Amino acid sequence: MSAVGYALLWDFDGTLVDSGELWRRSEYTFLNARKLPWNDAASRRLLGGNLELAAHVMAEVTGVRFSVDELRRGLGDAVRDALSRHVPWMPGVRGLLREQHQRGLRSALVTSSYAAIVRTALEQLAYAPFQSWVTREDVERPKPDPQPYRLALERLDIAADAALAIEDSPAGVASALAAGCHVLAVGPDLRELAQGHERGGALAHVDSLAGLTLDAVLARFPRITARARSFAILAPRYALASLPPGRWRGASCFSRVSRASLARRLTSAGKRSAPVLP
């Protein structure tokens, strides 16, 4: 069981890793080798997307329709090779991942990238920051469809209203909101989107994660903060209630309370505070 009653769900490209330039270079290399045209405006259309979108846009620009498998080998392998040499982490990300790991939070990676690319980057860390990954191989319908986030919630066994997704693209924000998650939209490009689509405290925006702590991030989401406080109060009691009677002896402040009595108190406390526990 996590020490708190919420989970963090992270996007990969553009949120964890500044991979936009790596993808752009791979696009130019791939198409220039085939003497086909490409431009930065077309490349920007692919940000936050997937290889299905890349195939569509490239067909529009070049007149040639590449398969997803061709693009996976031609673009994805180039990005993976670049990440094996150096991972350009986004500002503030490593500190947040380390804090998340130290707190024992439940967390997942939710991305339209492929597992081999993700693995190459995360292997550069000295610890495993996520309990689960959802990559392009895992879903039929990638972002902006909610399927990736719904699968992540299922794998973590946590309710959508207890999850905070961290995203840098309109497609990712749309996917997470449609799944019922709270969303932190990161980056200047999402400022207007966030202001225009705030809904009941479920969506907040920052220009960058640089210098932020987890508490500073969570302060933007009062519902998640309240949930964490409720869980912090009740979780130790639930843990004690699950122990065999013989294990209770010496448990501080509960050592002389019977199992049945503790269960009644927990039920009463739950009715008063109405926590939503995962």
pLDDT of res. 198: 58
Provide φ and ψ at 106, rounded to 5°: -75, 140
Half-sphere exposure of 51 (CA within 13 A, CB side): 21
Q: How does DSSP assign 74-124, residue by residue?
A: IIIHHHHHHHHH---BPTTHHHHHHHHHHHT-EEEEE-SS-HHHHHHHHTT
Is 278 inside any structural domain? no
Residues 56, 137, single domain; the answer is no
Identify whether 174 is part of a domain: yes
CA 8 – CA 103 distance, rounded (Å): 12
Q: Supply the pTM of this predicted model.
A: 0.80
Q: Are residues 125 and 195 in the same domain?
A: yes
Q: How far is CA 88 from CA 8, 110, 189, 221, in A?
A: 21, 19, 20, 28
Task: Report pLDDT for 224.
Answer: 87
Domain boundary among 85, 101, 136: 85
Residue 78 belongs to domain with CATH number: 1.10.150
Residue type, 43: S
d(CA 115, CA 135): 6
> Has residue 225 been placed in a domain?
no
Average pLDDT per consecutive 10 residues, the chain (278 residues; last block may be shorter)? 73 96 96 97 92 96 97 96 97 96 95 96 93 96 96 96 95 95 95 71 93 94 80 49 44 36 42 34
**Rounded to whole angstroms, how far apart are CA atoms 171 and 267?**
41
The residue segments making up the domain with residue 263 are 231-273
- Domain boundary residue, one of 220, 248, 265: 220
Residue 2 lies inside a defined structural domain of this protein: no
Report the Cα–Cα distance between both ends of the chain, in Å, rounded.
Answer: 9
